């Protein structure tokens, strides 16, 4: 109910506007009765919207409905809330209590309770379908049945009572449904996703109707449904219960990531409400898994601050229930570290990355895949912080295990060769850097192919290392190999222009400015096309042309 305080109060109808509104929504109602209803509801548009929807859907006459309102009395109907700034919404919620009482369909009532604990708008129907196994009957059958006619009937009923709205249907009328506002076909397969919206006032009214204990029951159902959905999407990836790496990003399919991003606001709403109301260990651990998945969703959408908040909540729950030395806590620590790293806070990232590593070393040993992944994560953070000796130490520990378990011809081993070589080149040990880049190149060329980005990156890295060694003939050789790939796969693009310029610089290093000039000119023209005439690289390449022309 605290959400109500954030909702702006609505303007009132005038008496004439209210009467006209009621008569436009309820055919045949007399002006006198319309005026009585409007006055009773304080000329509040939202309350009149729900009242007229009830009259149309139920077929009840206006006089009987007014009598029903007066019989119950608004002191009994109103949700107990003292904030004056949301009085209109409270009146609307009060009117909705009568509507909810009038719904006899058990499936419809169960769906209302389910929606009351999700985010208010754009709930994908597929979220409920994915989690149907955790739902009670008959709601489970509503989403799992082979026929969709009952689901369409239930949704149409709730739309008719103005308790929810639906968008995204292929019924053929604007943003969903037929010309009378009803659903056409329920989205599935090739059809567009149905999105369900329940206003905050309706959520409050539904929750207020719950008898003692029912509120907790439905919140538990929502949590079980959400946990089922998360398990179906991510499996054990975020629970540290498998042998797979918990700090490496999960290679989900594009479809999985899209679903996770769409589901995240609703899963978060469930997690927040459940965290406050369900204090048993089983529920709390399910909530921690939910926070991890939600954080993953927001991480995918680029909201790293909210992802960090979710990961930290999950970590706190894991530590409280399973202890700081648990594998679940290690998994959460790794995700927190990753979020801090994405936010550019390397110091905090290091703290959590090394906390995860300590647990994994003790619990699983130094050769376990999760521990190796933690070595690499800690090395990455140390590298970003400029702690190169510590970074090399972590990379070295990981490499020993990778070479033994994966072999020196595995792409993951090659990635570690590459990371170590970059640090060594930065530290000036270019001979050793070239050796490792060559080993990485051999793997990427054989296992990933000539045109793979890792292969081209290795060629460029070898060329740059030879530049630092002042071996410009070798530098030129490897830049030319990279160019052969770029001109085939990336013709007319930025990397081709950069490579033109690098070849020109290699010729300069050889003292052959005549040979350098055409490469700088080609780079200059391509930079103008790709980046526009005002980009700094365009002016820089022009200066290289002038230098090559004027220097013997």
Strands 123-124 and 165-167, how do they pair?
A: unpaired
Percent of the chain that is helix, strand, coil (3-state, to 5): 70, 0, 25
* Paired tokens of 364: 């699983």
Higher pLDDT, 371 or 45: 371
| Strand, helix or coil for residue 326 | coil
Q: What is the residue whose two structure tokens read 């990427």? A: 444
Is the pLDDT at 39 greater than 70? The verdict is yes
Other Cβ atoms within 10 Å of 79 Cβ, number? 18
| Strand, helix or coil for residue 193 | coil
What is the C-alpha radius of gyration for the chain, rounded to an integer number of angstroms? 32
Task: Give percent above pLDDT 90 in the chain.
Answer: 58
Q: What is the pLDDT of residue 175?
A: 42
Q: What is the residue whose two structure tokens read 């023209």? A: 525
| pLDDT tens-digit map of 382-404 | 999 999 999 999 999 999 999 99
199-207 mean pLDDT: 84
Query: Quick one: how far is CA 177 from the chain centroid?
Result: 28
Using CA atoms, how far apart are residues 358 and 356, in angstroms rounded to an integer? 6
Q: Could you give the angle at which helices 304-322 and 254-277 cross, rounded to 10 degrees? A: 50
Using CA atoms, how far apart are residues 238 and 227, in angstroms rounded to an integer? 12
* Paired tokens of 163: 């308790």
Using CA atoms, how far apart are residues 5 and 26, in angstroms rounded to an integer? 31
| pLDDT tens-digit map of 204-237 | 888 877 765 677 899 999 999 999 999 888 876 5
Using CA atoms, how far apart are residues 62 and 52, in angstroms rounded to an integer? 9
Residues 230 and 130 sit within 8 Å (Cβ to Cβ): no
Closest C-alpha to 227, from 272, 271, 165 = 271
Question: What are all long-range contacts of 516-524, with beta carbons under 8 Å and residues at least 24 apart?
Answer: 516/544, 516/548, 517/545, 517/548, 517/549, 520/544, 520/545, 520/548, 521/545, 522/497, 523/497, 523/498
Using CA atoms, how far apart are residues 380 and 417, in angstroms rounded to an integer? 13
| Ordered strands of the 165-167 beta sheet | 123-124, 195-197, 165-167
* Paired tokens of 110: 């169960």
74-99 mean pLDDT: 61
Is the pLDDT at 170 greater than 70? The verdict is no
Please tell me the least confidently modeled range out of 165-174, 303-312, 424-433, 438-447.
Answer: 165-174
Query: Quick one: how far is CA 488 from the chain centroid?
Result: 35
Using CA atoms, how far apart are residues 206 and 109, in angstroms rounded to an integer? 9
| pLDDT tens-digit map of 302-328 | 999 999 999 999 999 999 999 999 999
Q: What is the pLDDT of residue 78?
A: 52
Whether the upstream peptide bond of residue 138 has omega within 30° of 0, thus cis, is yes
Higher pLDDT, 12 or 511: 511
Using CA atoms, how far apart are residues 357 and 404, in angstroms rounded to an integer? 20
pTM of the model: 0.79
Length of the chain: 552
């Amino acid at each position: 109910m605290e959400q109500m305080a954030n909702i702006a109060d609505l303007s009132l109808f005038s008496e004439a506007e209210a009467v006209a509104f009621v008569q436009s929504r309820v055919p045949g109602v007399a002006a006198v009765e319309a005026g009585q209803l409007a006055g009773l509801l304080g000329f509040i548009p939202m309350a009149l919207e729900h009242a007229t929807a009830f009259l149309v859907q139920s077929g009840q006459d206006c006089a009987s409905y007014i009598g029903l309102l007066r019989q119950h009395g608004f002191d009994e109907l109103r949700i107990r809330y003292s904030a004056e700034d949301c009085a209109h919404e409270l009146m609307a919620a009060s009117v909705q209590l009568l509507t909810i009482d009038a719904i006899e369909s058990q499936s419809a009532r169960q769906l209302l309770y389910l929606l009351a604990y999700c985010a208010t708008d754009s709930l994908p129907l597929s979220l409920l379908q994915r989690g149907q196994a955790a739902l009670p009957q008959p709601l489970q059958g509503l989403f799992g049945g082979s026929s969709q006619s009952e689901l369409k009937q239930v949704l149409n009923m709730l739309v008719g009572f103005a308790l929810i709205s639906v968008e995204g249907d292929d019924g053929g009328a604007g943003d969903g449904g037929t010309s009378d506002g009803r659903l056409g076909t329920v989205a599935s397969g090739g059809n567009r996703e149905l999105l369900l919206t329940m206003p905050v006032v309706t959520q409050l009214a539904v929750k207020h109707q719950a008898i003692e204990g029912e509120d907790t029951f439905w919140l538990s159902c929502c949590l079980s449904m959400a946990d089922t959905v998360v398990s179906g999407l991510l499996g054990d990836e975020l629970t540290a219960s498998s042998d797979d790496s918990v700090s490496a990003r999960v290679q989900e399919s594009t479809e999985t990531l899209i679903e996770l991003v769409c589901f995240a606001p609703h899963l978060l709403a469930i997690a927040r409400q459940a965290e406050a109301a369900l204090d048993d260990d089983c529920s709390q651990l399910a909530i921690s898994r939910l926070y991890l998945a939600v954080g993953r969703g927001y991480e995918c959408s680029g909201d790293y601050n909210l992802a960090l908040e979710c990961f930290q909540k999950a970590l706190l729950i894991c530590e409280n229930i399973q202890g700081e030395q648990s594998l679940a806590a290690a998994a959460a620590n790794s995700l927190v570290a990753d979020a801090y790293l994405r936010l550019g806070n390397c110091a905090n990232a290091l703290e959590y990355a090394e906390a995860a590593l300590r647990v994994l070393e003790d619990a699983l040993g130094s050769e376990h895949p999760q521990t190796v992944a933690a070595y690499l994560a800690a090395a990455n953070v140390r590298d970003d912080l400029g702690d190169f000796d510590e970074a090399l130490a972590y990379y070295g520990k990981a490499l020993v295990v990778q070479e033994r378990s994966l072999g020196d011809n595995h792409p993951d081993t090659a990635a570690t060769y590459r990371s170590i070589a970059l640090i060594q080149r930065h530290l000036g040990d270019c001979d050793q850097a070239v050796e490792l880049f060559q080993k990485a190149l051999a793997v990427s060329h054989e296992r990933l192919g000539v045109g793979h980005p890792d292969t081209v990156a290795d060629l460029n890295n070898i060329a740059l290392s030879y530049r630092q060694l002042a071996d410009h003939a070798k530098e030129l050789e490897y830049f030319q190999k990279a160019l052969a790939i770029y001109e085939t796969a990336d013709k007319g693009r930025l990397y081709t222009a950069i490579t033109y310029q690098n070849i020109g610089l290699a010729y300069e290093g050889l003292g052959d400015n005549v040979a350098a000039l055409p490469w700088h000119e080609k780079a200059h023209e391509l930079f103008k096309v790709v980046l526009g005439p005002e980009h700094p690289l365009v002016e820089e390449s022009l200066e290289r042309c002038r230098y090559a022309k004027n220097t013997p």
